[in-house]
Each structure stands twice: as C-alpha cells, then as structure tokens.
Amino acid sequence: MEDLSLLMNGFATVLSWQNIGLMAIGILLGIVVGVLPGLGGPNGVAILLPLTFTMNPTSAIILLSCIYWGALFGGAITSVLFNIPGEAWSVATTFDGYPMAQRGQAGEALTSAFTGSFIGALVGVLMITFLAPLVAKFALRFGPPEFFAVYFLTFCSFVGMGKEPKAKIVISMCIGFVLAAVGMDTISGQLRMTFGLPVLLRGFDFLVAVIGLFGISEILMTMEEGLAFKGKHAAIDLKVVLKTWAGMPRFFMTLLRSSAIGCWLGITPGGATAASFMGYGVAKKFSRSPETFGKGNVEGVLAPETAAHAAGTSALLPMLALGIPGSATAAVLLGGLMIWGLQPGPLLFVEQKDFVWGLIASMYLGNLAGLIIVLASVPLFAAILRIPFSIIAPAILVICAIGAFTVHNAQFDIWLMLIFGIIGYVFKKLDYPLAPLVLALVLGDRAEDAFRQSMLASKGGLGIFWNNGLVGTIMTLAVAGLAWSVIGGLRERYRLRAA
C-alpha cells in the first residue's frame, strides 16, 4: 500500500504542464531517432543528454526516458515499410511486418507493432512497480554461466523452431559466428582475422551489417523483380486501428508469453534483441499456423515487438535497484543519474523516493502518450508507401549510408554496408535464412565471452553449466530443444524415404 501511495505522489509530480510538454518532445525526438537506421536509442539519449544538465533530475529523466520510448516505437516503422530495421531489436519485426505492408496491410502491421510495444512496455513497468525487490535479488544470481545458458537457449530455439532446412540454418548461424569473432579478442586481447587492417580492429558492427543485409539487399531484389517503378498504396483510418484492436484478444497467450520472455531477458540481462528473436520463435512454435510465419502473419509482428519492449523496459530495473545497467540505454541513463548527483542502487528507493516514483509514473504516462502519438502519425508513415519506388529508393540508399556512417563516423562502414547488401542478396537468391546469421552476429561475441569466462572459473569443466538449479534448468531446456529438433528432422527424413 505504501508503494501505491508513493506511485500516486509520483503521478502528481509528473502531471505538470512542463513535464507533459517534455514528454511529448521526448517521444517525437525518439521516433526520429528510431526511424534513422544506425542512430539508435542509446546514441540518441547520449547525444541529447547535455540538454538536461540545467534541468531538475525528475524533468531530465522524463525527457530522456521518453526519447527512449519514442525510439522503441520508431524502430518498427522502417522495419514494416521498407524492410530496414531502425533498431537492432526490430530485425524480427521485418519477417512478417514487411510482407504485410507488401500486401497493402501497412496500417494493420504498424498498429499491431505499436500495440504490442505498448503492452510489452506496460507489463515491464508493472513488474518494476510491484516486483522490484524480488527481481533485483534474482538478477544478482546471474553470472557468466547463466548468461551463456540464456544465449545458448536462444540459439538452440532458433535452430529448433526454424522452418528452413536445419543445415541452412546452421550454416547461416556459423557464418554469423565467424563474423562476430573478427576484431580484438576481449578475453586475451589478441587480434583475430583483421588481416592487418586497422579498421577491422572493432569488428563488424551489427547495425552496419543489418542495414546492408536487409535494406540494400531488398532494393537489389526489388529492382531485379522489375518492381522498381511501382508505388505501393496504403489506405488507413481509425477503422483500421479499431479493427486491429478488436482482433487482439485472439493473441492473448502470444502477448503474455512474449511479455514474460522480454521481462526475463531484460532483467538478466539478455537484451531486447535476444528477446525479440526468442519471442518470435516461441510464437511460431505455439502457433496454429506456423507455415504462415514469414509471409505476413500478424503474430510475427506482435511477438517480437512485445518481447523487445518488455525487455527494454525491464532493463531499467537492475539499473535503478542495483546500479547495474541492463542495456546500453540504461547505461547512458545511469551516467545521467550520477551527473545529477544521484547514486543508483538499493538506497535510491530510500533516499530519493520522490525521484524514483516520479520516474516510474512517467513510464506509465510516457508509454501511453507514445502509443497515442505514433498511432496518430500512422497515416503519415503509411502514405510514404504511395511514393513511387524510383523516387524513394535513392532516398532509402542515402538514409542507409548516413546511418552506416553515423555508427562510427567511418567511410569504411559505408563500403561494409554495400558488401553486406550483396551478401544478403545472395542469401535470398539461394534461399538461405538471414535471421540466424544476424542472431549469431549480435550475440556471438557475448556468448563466447560468457563461455570462456565460465571455463576460466571452472578450469575447463563443463559441469559449471549444471552446478545450480537456475543455470542447469536453462541448459537442459536448450539441449532438449536441440535434441528434439534433430529427432524430428530424422523422423521427417525417414518418412520421406519410406514414401
């Protein structure tokens, strides 16, 4: 009851005209940040952080957190309309969001994405409100073995739940692992596969690769298919939004599962990207029509967006309760708190109650305001599809190049983007899935670091992955899922041979 009264006081603090105005400004800036590939929520928050130095901490955190909400919402826009993920966690949204837009269902896809985002973030905020002490205690149990187990479960579930041939999934994932290994080894400090090129010291940045694999390759495919000069039409109004909402109760379990996955991976922290891929895979596994995934299934839009936003929101909990940022954006916000003279951790909930509960109240209001603003702007974004491709394609190329250059301010990244675009084009022509490659590229180095740290701690003994109930359960689920996938593949091969 005390927490609820503190939350009400937080709402009273936030509901001033100044803070409401900052909320709207932050969300609009965040949408722009999310739409521009390569910029991203962490960069957007970091760039705009100096604007808050003269504000009081509550107003400052409201502005920055709303930029984060806007970036979360905005990342889905280019994923659905142009097959270009605006954010790392929006990659899985392209699998079904873009096919829906191609069929003239851009309004339904965007409305579903925004609604799933709202629900996932709302579940995350509710969890922060009511389960903060318990969850903070649970997060302390995660070390390198637990992190590796989470990543391993993500890889195994993707192999097991993919509809493509298992061999192609594994090959694609292995290429991603190789690309993730390029650069400096974070454990030993040695250089790997840099071939004497200083620009490869930092490895292949995930966002540069994604822009090329999805954005550039899609333009090449569209030009080859002779559709380069046909504009798309997208009619949308309030009826589309209401009709999409009316169908949401059918996906209650999908939303619930994805929210749970996102909260778990946000706290641990597995990250919003891993959450979106796992949410998509689990939704496909439990769907009554898994064969429609990748062809424009609305569940394929709802699941990753819900999971990603639940993870992105939940990542703020260990930052506030423990002083341990659960994501890159949370790390930037952590720096902001310290600049304003606040020390994140358990004492923050005791010594700065007004600030903490004002922040939590702003999460509720910012999430709701974000949903309203992005839904109101859906007609504007959907209208982009009416522009002839001959006009929009050069604009997309320029935006992609700016996005790739912005990541490290390096011209070399533009060439990398083009190379990855050709790789994506070849993958699509040979019917190799891109998703496993992307997943391995973004999580491969993290999984390797966690595995090697675990091996160092156990002196090479694999038993460390079963030395307690938490890590043992996760690893057992991963191995069981992989074994079930192999057995299913052998059965299918035997049945075909017998036929």
Q: What is the pLDDT of residues 204-245, one digit of tens each?
A: 877 678 778 877 877 787 677 655 434 444 445 677 778 888
Q: Residue 114 carries which side chain, given as an amino acid letter? A: F
Name the residue with tokens 């965007």. Answer: 110
Show Cβ contacts of residue 351 under 8 Å, excluding neighbours closer than 6 positions: none
Burial of 462 (0-12, 13-18, 19+ CB in 10 A): exposed
φ, ψ (nearest 5 deg) of residue 69: -60, -45
Share of the chain above pLDDT 90, in %: 1
Instruction: Work out the angle between the directed axes of helices 217-224 and 412-429 (0-180°, nearest 10).
Output: 50
Sequence-distant (6+) residues with CB within 8 A of 176 are 436, 437, 438, 439, 440, 441, 444
- Give residue 2's pLDDT: 54
| Range 339-371 burial, b when 16+ CB lie within 10 A, else e | ebebebbeebbeebeebbbbbbbbbbbbbebbb
Angle between helices 252-267 and 272-286 (to 10 degrees): 150
User: Residues 6 or more apart from 153 whose CB is under 8 A from it?
Assistant: 278, 474, 475, 477, 478, 481
Q: How far from each other are the two terminal CA atoms of the chain, in whole angstroms?
A: 65
The answer to whether 286 and 147 are in contact (CB under 8 A) is no
Q: Within its chain, how far is the Cα of 135 from the centroid?
A: 21
What distances in angstroms separate CA 467 from CA 183, 384, 448, 454, 475, one per listed residue? Answer: 32, 54, 19, 12, 11
The gap from C-alpha 429 to its chain's centroid, in whole angstroms, comes to 26
Nearest alpha-carbon partner for 156 in 462, 476, 489, 481: 481
What's at 245, amino acid-wise? W
Higher per-residue confidence, 481 vs 44: 481
pLDDT tens string 409-458 = 788 888 888 898 898 888 888 888 877 887 788 778 878 888 888 888 88
Residue 232 has φ and ψ, to the nearest 5°, of -95, 150
- Among the listed residues 238, 285, 297, the one whose alpha carbon sits nearest the alpha carbon of residue 113: 297
Is 135 within 8 Å of 127 (Cβ atoms)?
A: yes
At residue 445, the pLDDT reads: 82
For the chain, the structural domain boundaries read 2-498
Q: Which residues lie across from 184 on neighbouring strands?
A: 191
Residues 2-55: tens digit of each pLDDT: 566 667 777 777 777 888 888 888 888 887 777 665 555 666 666 666 677 677
pLDDT at 136 over 70: no
